Chain A
Amino acid sequence: MSSGRVPGRRTRAPGFWRSNSLTLVFGGAFLVVLAAQAVAGRAEFNEQLAVDGLQQVGFGAYLMSSDFAVDVTENWQSEFLQFFLYVFGTVHLVQRGSPESKPLERAGTESDRDQKMGDHARPESPRWAGTKDWRQGLYSRSLGLTMAVLFFLSWFAQSVAGVAAYNGQRLRQLQAPLDWSAYLASSDFWSRSLQNWQSELLAVCAMAILSVYLRQRGSPESKPVGSAHSATGVEG
């Protein structure tokens, strides 16, 4: 079978769906899985209520409950923490042979020329990249900072939803509720946080080292299949 381009036929630019398929597919899958989590979460919550001889909750009530909110936000915060640490960490930290890492000699924030900033900005560069004031400083860290802000917001949301869900459970066990500051020191808050953090850190560590030796043909997360194990910062 021929795989070459047909002579004389112009290649059409990919349409909206094709151009944004990565975001759209993962965004759609996120919504489907979130809905599935709500269904499973409600069933589990109602099982606990049945054991206590209490009223079952409907699907709408569960969606608005602190129990659902804390289960969602505890995972969100850890994902944003992962990307925040990864984005900032990979400025200075390197892994020889990993496509997730820069070449070892380029560790650090690099020069304005390398980063196409200030006088080295190009006509197509984002406008703030070509400035020399606070806008450049902010824009040049905007990805990591946004991840950090989203992490702190979702971690705060976890704490607020968490104290309400935990206090509901304590009341069902005939225990006095805790206030927010006491909840921040509780085992429930830290258990929820740390169990998610450890899994995110394991995933980053595994990706950094496994991508040195293993390949995925066609994926930009992998080196080209034939690249040497020692090749660093090469994407497929």
Chain B
Amino acid sequence: MSTPLRAAAVLVVAAFLSGCGASAAREDGASSSGRRFAAALAAGDYRAACELLAPETRDEVEEDAKGPCGPALRELGLPPSGPARGVDVYGNDALLRTAGDTVFLSRFDDGWKVTAAGCVEQSTDEPYRCSLKGG
């Protein structure tokens, strides 16, 4: 194999391997944030749960409730999460399925944040119906 071809092959393999590594790190990051969100809700620590909401989602919760995030989140009565069943990550967006809930997340500078929770699947191309989501 000529030198340029070998260099190109090395680049492709390196890009593929780094992509796989990045993908595993993203899955871990999204799952971890989802679990911390569920744990905060289960513990009644709504302030911590609010910290894990994406900015637009938090704004929407406060706007809808016309009050602070914590009490508004408690009022929503999101379902208990349960054990994780799988996570799908594409770029900076993720879907975490647990036994009791489905949560959407997005990656920000300070980590993965919940964009929607309390989501129920509809037919194939219909968006999930979520009790908590951004505008």
A contacts, CB < 8 Å to B? 52-55, 57, 64-67, 164-165, 167-168, 171-177
Report whether B121 and A176 are in contact in the complex, using a CB–CB cutoff of 8 Å: yes
CB < 8 Å neighbour of A52 from B56, B107, B119: B56
A167 touches B88 (CB 8 A): yes
Q: In the complex, how many angstroms separate the beta carbon of A40 from the nearest chain B beta carbon?
A: 19
Main SS of the interface on chain B? Answer: mixed
Given A53-B54, A53-B56, A55-B107, A175 contacting B128 (CB threshold 8 A) = yes
Known: A174-B127, A175-B127, A176-B128. A55 touches B91 (CB 8 A): no
* A171 and chain B: residue at smallest CB distance: B93
Known A-B contacts A52-B134, A53-B54, A55-B109; A174 and B91 likewise in contact (beta carbons under 8 Å): no
Alpha-carbon distance between A173 and B127 when the two chains are bound, in angstroms: 7
- The CA-CA distance from A6 to B125 in the complex, in Å, is 75
Whether B94 sits at the interface, judged by CB under 8 Å, is yes
> Is the CB–CB distance between B93 and A172 below 8 Å?
yes
User: Interface on chain A toward B: helix, strand, loop, or mixed SS?
Assistant: loop
Instruction: Knowing A55-B107, A175-B128, say if A168 contacts B54 (CB, 8 Å).
Output: no
Residue of A nearest to B93 (CB): A171
State whether the Cβ of B67 lies closer than 8 Å to any Cβ in chain A: no
Q: Total interface residues on B, using CB and 8 Å?
A: 32
Instruction: From A57, A67, A172, A173, name the one whose CB has the most chain B CB atoms within 10 angstroms.
Output: A172
B32 to chain A, nearest CB (A): 17
For B109, the closest partner residue in chain A by CB is A55
Name A66's contact: one of B54, B90, B108, B119 (CB within 8 Å): B90
CB distance A177 to B88 under 8 Å?
A: yes
Distance, CA A65 to CA B23, complexed state (A): 12
29 contacts between A and B (CB under 8 A): A53-B54, A53-B55, A54-B54, A54-B108, A54-B115, A55-B106, A57-B92, A65-B91, A66-B90, A165-B90, A167-B88, A167-B90, A167-B93, A168-B92, A171-B93, A171-B94, A171-B104, A172-B93, A172-B106, A172-B115, A174-B104, A174-B119, A174-B128, A174-B130, A174-B133, A175-B128, A176-B95, A176-B121, A177-B95
Q: Mark B106-135, 1 if CB is under 8 A from A, else 0.
A: 111100000110010100111110100111
Within 8 A of A (CB), among B76-116: 88, 90-95, 104, 106-109, 115-116
Q: Which one of B59, B91, B92, B126 contacts A175 once the chains associate, using CB atoms below 8 Å?
A: B126
CA distance A174 to B55 in the complex (A): 17
Q: What residues on A are CB-neighbors of B54 within 8 Å?
A: 53-54
In the complex, what distance in Å separates the CA atom of A199 from the CA atom of B121? 39
Return B58 CB to nearest CB of chain A, in Å. 10
CB closest residue in chain B, given A173: B127
CA distance A175 to B104 in the complex (A): 10
